[in-house]
Amino acid sequence: MSLFKRKDSSCWWVKIIIDGRKIQRSTGTDDKIKAQEFHDRLKAQMWEQNRLGVKARRSWKEAVVRWLEETSEKATHQEDKRKLIWLDTYLGALMLDEITLDVIDSIRAAKLKEAAKATTNRYLALTRSILLRSRDEWEWIDKVPKIRLFKESASRERSLTREQAGRLLDELPEHQRDVVLFALATGLRQSNVLQLEWSQINLEQRHAWIHAWQSKNRRPISIPLNEAAYAVLLRQKGKHLERVFTFQGRPLNTANTRAWRKALQRAGIDNFRWHDLRHTWATWQRQAGTPTHELQRLGGWRTGAMVERYAHLAPEHLAEAASRLNSVLLGYDSATVA
């Protein structure tokens, strides 16, 4: 039977077989007349594809599955999955050629109600990337809507003063205090701190490392352990066989907890995320005179451009460079005065 109902759905479903190719799909309606119309259109399309060589229509869900398979090595793979789950509400029932600017506008409007423009851009950019690959690499569609992103302001950098950091550390429970202190001492990202294992540490050489597959840019990171980081690790030693940071014998899996947020409130610190600990570390490094190329290696950044945003915090080396013209220009200045 071409039209049928499943126990788990109120909608009619179609099953069509042409030249050995079978399609089984929901019609999206519980109206039998409309379902029959859907069946007839789909059957005609399949005949055109098979007999006339017309390009087969592909669904958004098919594109998502292939995208996730081909980008499984991306550092943001899990983040992409979370975005695609949200997008499924708006795109999950559509064929690729049904995704128009009106559909994109509805996504943009819906996301703006719950998130900032920068976050909305991440969802729009992911949608655009999948549609462009569907057109340019897979040749599933002939055209895609032109998806424009919002203009974003300069990247947000929020760092703590030493006094603020001290207040925060005083307010945190012991197990979280050591996690935050280690982050401030090493500049590691949250996931790299929380998932750190003893197999990645050599206490004798005071050295730790992040594997390439664990880092955001897929390059290994070498971590020389300063006194603060070393002291934290000594306090954790013996608490767990594999993982470094634990609570009541269990590995820590999240840092953005109620205790963390309450500690920020008590310390009088607002507009601060856990990732800003990394910004704080980089800021302190630059203020201490660490040059760009060293900070880049310590922080595991792929390019120096990512580090240049902290350059204004350490102007001393630029002042030294500027002073090299003193011997040349002061002569002109003296001549003018005379």
Which entry of 216, 235, 240, 309 is annotated as an active-site residue? 216
Distance CA 65, CA 6 (A): 24
CA torsion sign for 265, 269, 275, 278 is: negative
Total count of residues recorded for the chain: 338
Examine the residue annotation and report whether 309 is marked as an active-site residue of this protein: no
Examine the residue annotation and report whether 47 is marked as an active-site residue of this protein: no
Q: Quote the distance between the C-alpha of residue 321 and its chain's center.
A: 38
Examine the residue annotation and report whether 140 is marked as an active-site residue of this protein: no
Helix (H) or strand (E) holding 17: strand 12-18
Q: Say how many C-beta atoms besides its own lie within 10 A of residue 337's C-beta.
A: 6
Examine the residue annotation and report whether 258 is marked as an active-site residue of this protein: no
Which entry of 61, 177, 206, 275 is annotated as an active-site residue? 275
Which entry of 278, 279, 281, 284 is annotated as an active-site residue? 278
User: Please, what's the b/e burial string for 42-76 (b: 16 or more CB within 10 A of its CB; e: otherwise)?
Assistant: bbeebeebeeeeeeebbbbbbbbebbeeeeeeeee
Residue at token pair 């050629």:
97
Examine the residue annotation and report whether 156 is marked as an active-site residue of this protein: no
Strand partners, 246: 251
Examine the residue annotation and report whether 216 is marked as an active-site residue of this protein: yes
Which entry of 111, 189, 279, 286 is annotated as an active-site residue? 189
Q: Which residues are catalytic?
A: 189, 216, 275, 278, 301, 310
